[in-house]
């Protein structure tokens, strides 16, 4: 690899500045919706749609960053993390809707229950490796959703059943603003946790497990405890996002609390941004979620896809997502963050090398 | 007692479909080390082929099965040769994501072509059955079980008695050594995946006769195929046959528990799988490697 010091440093600085500008805009734009700003004549930069999309993006930043801890740093391909999201959503949802707890008291319970569940299933599941772990975790995701929807007690669905669970609306001024900043806070916590993990003895143990589990065990890493802890940490963060989601969205059911496609989306985000890094999954989450919203036609800017009717649009969007998945996996397996860090440049030679390394 | 016999028969008949879905999945997994998340979508492609041939040409659905097999073999061969071969040396997560992406593409293409309506294949004999005292055995299910067994037997024959099959076995044993003795890996990999896809196609034809299909109907079958292969044990066709029939039985008995209904099908399947993985990871018939 040829090192081009000056131009690389310049590019890195440009991307850094760009990232800061985007982040600053995202964090400050909501303030224009406050009454004080409106009466002072500041132009409105964030409407309801803006809040909805931005909160969704922050939610995926949490999930992708959390997945990175078990999938990227520890190297265990967890395919069922959506179970923790759903458990978090239903924990907070049940406490608010049935037990009438206040939201901010019910929210911290979500990561606790998710952690407990992850520890419980992690002990048997994390004994499995490779494909076995991946599909077993996928199965857990499916099975938990099914149980939550169908478990009954004396003929009454415990968790609201197929008709879902309605929560009372959280009464606070500027609700959109509140939930956006709450989700951003959750995203910030996730990134900070990742940063800490990567600099701690715990994180080095996890990386050792990823690189060679037997060797890690020989070196004195308590692999079972480390793996379960990583799984539980990912579960706690994901559960927290679920807890916020339930009160933000006011309505939860099996479809929006346990969507199977989230499993793959969070992995693709982490992969796109670069697994095992601090900011990679977050960057991937922003990019991919914007793309998904764009393809789905819910962004204010949208482009017509030629020869496609409006009705077929969501389906075509899925096809494009599938093609993107295939292309990313084949050509940029180390994530696009490789290009921004100044480590490599996007070139034909790079793509060809990626292909040669993995193909038969 | 009659209830019990009825349950056993129903379970074994349902198991026939799982055998058909499982053998192709197990072949691809065992030889190529790919958990093929696109398997269910290939199954449904086979189902739509049978449906199309049945509705437009009025062919007997069982006669369309060879067509499904050939068409899916060609498709699977091309897919492996053109796409999946590119990431064979990548970490396992990548094969997972790639096959998931392929699944997404195939399912949504089917949605664009056929829409999301339920389609079913109903030949004249579809409602009839063999009556044995109080027990009725539907003909379609009975023949399906026979087809599934025949499919497994022919796959086992190909794998154990032909040159191609021996090459596939050699790859499963040691890829690099296989290459050293002159096996064309790219071709052999593609043939293996093609055979897996062909089995999926036949399974899809059978499924179209048994249930109404939609483009998304294949996804549960991917997960069930996984459970079936684990249950029997990876690496042998006969083990998958046993796993499929056992899975059918477990499902039949699970659904007969009052109050559980069919809503917990996935939960039962996965609890069973985790149980097997933790207590007997090599499967019912598998050998530890």
Structural domain boundaries in chain B: 2-217
CA separation for the pair A336, A291 (Å, rounded): 15
State the best of B102, B274, B282 to mutate against chain A, taking most chain A CBs within 10 Å. B274
The reply to whether A194 and A225 lie within a common domain is: yes
For the stretch B4-24, pLDDT in tens is 888 888 889 989 999 999 999
The reply to whether A181 and A41 lie within a common domain is: no
Q: Which residues of chain A have pLDDT under 50?
A: 1-3
In terms of CA atoms, which chain A residue is nearest residue B80? A360
Host domain of residue A37? 1-46
For the stretch B124-150, pLDDT in tens is 888 788 887 777 888 889 999 999 999
In a domain, A337, yes or no: no
Q: What is the maximum alpha-carbon separation in chain A? A: 71
Q: Which residue has the tokens 């909160």?
A: A55
Final residue of a domain: which of A261, A277, A306?
A261
The reply to whether A108 and A6 lie within a common domain is: no
Residue (of A138, A354, A146, A140) closest to A267 by Cα position:
A138
The reply to whether A226 and A111 lie within a common domain is: yes
The reply to whether A35 and A61 lie within a common domain is: no
In a domain, A339, yes or no: no
The reply to whether A20 and A92 lie within a common domain is: no
In a domain, A293, yes or no: no
**If residue B48 lies in a helix (H) or strand (E), which one and from where to where?**
helix B39-57
| Interchain pair B277, A136: CB under 8 A | yes
For the stretch B55-74, pLDDT in tens is 999 989 999 999 999 999 99
In a domain, A247, yes or no: yes
- Per-residue pLDDT, B288: 47
The reply to whether A72 and A183 lie within a common domain is: yes
| Interchain pair B94, A329: CB under 8 A | yes
For the stretch A146-201, pLDDT in tens is 888 887 776 777 787 777 888 888 888 788 889 999 999 999 999 999 999 999 99
The region that residue B275 occupies, defined by phi over 0 for left and psi between -120 and 50 for alpha, beta otherwise, is alpha
In angstroms, the separation between the Cα of residue A48 and the nearest Cα of chain B is 31
In a domain, A318, yes or no: no
| Interchain pair A358, B94: CB under 8 A | yes
Q: Which residue has the tokens 């857990």?
A: A140
| Interchain pair A359, B102: CB under 8 A | no
Scan residues 218-237 of A and list those with Cβ closer than 8 Å to B.
none
User: Are A94 and A247 in contact, with CB atoms under 8 Å apart?
Assistant: no
User: Are B274 and B223 in contact, with CB atoms under 8 Å apart?
Assistant: no
Euclidean distance between the first and final Cα of chain A, in Å?
A: 24
The reply to whether A98 and A232 lie within a common domain is: yes
Chain B residues with CB under 8 Å of A152 CB are 259
Chain A residues with CB under 8 Å of B230 CB are 132
- Confidence (pTM): 0.84
Scan residues 179-218 of B and list those with Cβ closer than 8 Å to A.
185-186, 189
Residue (of A62, A120, A51) closest to A89 by Cα position:
A62
Chain A residues with CB under 8 Å of B274 CB are 124-125, 136, 139
- The ipTM value here is 0.83
- The verdict on A316 touching B (C-beta cutoff 8 Å) is yes
The reply to whether A178 and A257 lie within a common domain is: yes
CA separation for the pair A252, A285 (Å, rounded): 22
The counts of H helices and E strands in chain A are 17, 4
| Interchain pair A139, B273: CB under 8 A | yes
Chain A residues with CB under 8 Å of B264 CB are 146-147, 150
User: Domain count of chain A?
Assistant: 2
CA separation for the pair A62, A81 (Å, rounded): 12
**If residue B181 lies in a helix (H) or strand (E), which one and from where to where?**
none
Output the average pLDDT for chain B. 88
| Interchain pair A132, B94: CB under 8 A | no
The reply to whether A101 and A113 lie within a common domain is: yes
What does the block give as tokens for A174? 């500027």
The reply to whether A29 and A143 lie within a common domain is: no
Residue (of A144, A106, A108, A110) closest to A125 by Cα position:
A144
CA dihedral A257, A261, A264, A265 (to 10 degrees): -80
Handedness of CA A327, A333, A336, A338 (dihedral sign): negative
Scan residues 103-162 of B and list those with Cβ closer than 8 Å to A.
103-105, 107-109, 111-112
Euclidean distance between the first and final Cα of chain B, in Å?
A: 41
- B130 bridge partner residues: B137
In a domain, A334, yes or no: no
């Amino acid at each position: 690899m040829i090192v081009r010091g000056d131009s690389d440093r310049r590019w890195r600085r440009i991307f850094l500045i760009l990232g800061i500008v985007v982040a600053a805009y995202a964090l400050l734009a909501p303030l224009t919706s406050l009454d004080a700003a409106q009466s002072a004549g500041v132009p409105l930069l964030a409407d309801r749609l803006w809040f909805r999309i931005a909160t969704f993006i922050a939610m995926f930043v949490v999930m992708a960053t959390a997945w990175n801890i078990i999938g990227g740093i520890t190297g265990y391909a967890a395919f069922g993390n959506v179970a923790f999201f759903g458990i978090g959503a239903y924990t907070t949802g049940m406490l608010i809707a049935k037990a009438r707890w206040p939201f901010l008291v019910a929210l911290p319970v979500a990561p606790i229950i998710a952690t407990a569940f992850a520890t419980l299933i992690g002990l048997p599941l994390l004994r499995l490796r490779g494909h076995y772990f991946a599909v077993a975790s996928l199965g857990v995701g499916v099975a938990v959703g099914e149980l939550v929807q169908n478990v009954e007690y004396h003929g009454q669905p415990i968790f609201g059943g197929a008709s879902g669970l309605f929560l009372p609306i959280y009464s606070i001024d500027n609700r959109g603003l509140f939930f956006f900043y709450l989700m951003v806070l959750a995203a910030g916590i996730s990134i900070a946790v990742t940063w800490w993990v990567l600099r701690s003895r715990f994180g080095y143990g996890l990386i050792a497990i990823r690189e060679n589990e037997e060797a890690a065990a020989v070196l004195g890493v308590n692999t079972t405890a480390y793996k379960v802890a990583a799984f539980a940490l990912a579960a706690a963060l994901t559960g927290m996002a679920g807890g916020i989601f339930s009160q933000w969205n006011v309505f939860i059911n099996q479809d929006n609390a346990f969507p199977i496609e989230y499993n793959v989306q969070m992995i693709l985000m982490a992969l796109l941004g670069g697994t095992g890094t601090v900011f990679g999954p977050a960057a991937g989450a922003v990019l991919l979620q914007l793309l998904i919203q764009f393809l789905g036609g819910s962004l204010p800017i949208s482009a017509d896809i030629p020869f496609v009717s409006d009705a077929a649009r969501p389906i075509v969007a899925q096809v494009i997502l599938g093609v993107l998945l295939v292309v990313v996996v084949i050509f940029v397996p180390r994530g696009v963050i490789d290009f921004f860090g100044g480590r490599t440049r996007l070139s034909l030679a790079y793509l060809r090398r990626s292909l040669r390394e993995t193909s038969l | 007692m009659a209830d019990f016999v009825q349950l056993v028969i129903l379970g074994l008949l349902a198991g026939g479909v799982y055998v058909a879905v499982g053998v192709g999945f197990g072949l691809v997994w065992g030889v190529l080390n790919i958990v093929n998340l696109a398997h269910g979508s290939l199954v449904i492609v086979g189902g739509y082929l049978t449906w199309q041939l049945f509705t437009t040409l009025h062919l007997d659905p069982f006669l369309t099965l060879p067509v499904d097999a050939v068409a899916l073999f060609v498709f699977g061969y091309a897919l492996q040769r053109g796409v999946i071969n590119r990431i064979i040396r990548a970490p396992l997560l990548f094969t997972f994501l790639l096959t998931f992406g392929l699944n997404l593409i195939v399912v949504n293409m089917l949605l664009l072509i056929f829409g999301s309506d339920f389609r079913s294949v109903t030949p004249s004999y579809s409602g009839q059955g063999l009556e044995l005292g109080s027990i009725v055995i539907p003909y379609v299910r009975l023949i399906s079980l026979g087809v599934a067994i025949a499919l497994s037997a022919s796959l086992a024959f190909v794998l154990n008695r032909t040159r191609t099959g021996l090459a596939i076995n050699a790859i499963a044993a040691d890829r690099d050594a296989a290459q050293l003795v002159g096996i064309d890996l790219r071709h052999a990999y593609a043939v293996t995946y093609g055979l897996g896809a062909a089995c999926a196609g036949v399974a899809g034809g059978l499924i179209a006769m048994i249930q109404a299909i939609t483009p998304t109907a294949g996804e549960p079958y991917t997960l069930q195929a996984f459970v079936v292969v684990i249950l029997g044990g990876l690496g042998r066709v006969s083990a998958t046959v046993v796993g499929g029939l056992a899975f059918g039985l477990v499902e039949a008995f699970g659904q007969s528990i009052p109050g559980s209904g069919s809503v917990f099908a996935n939960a039962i399947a996965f609890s069973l799988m985790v149980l097997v993985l933790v207590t007997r990871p090599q499967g019912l018939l598998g050998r530890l490697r």
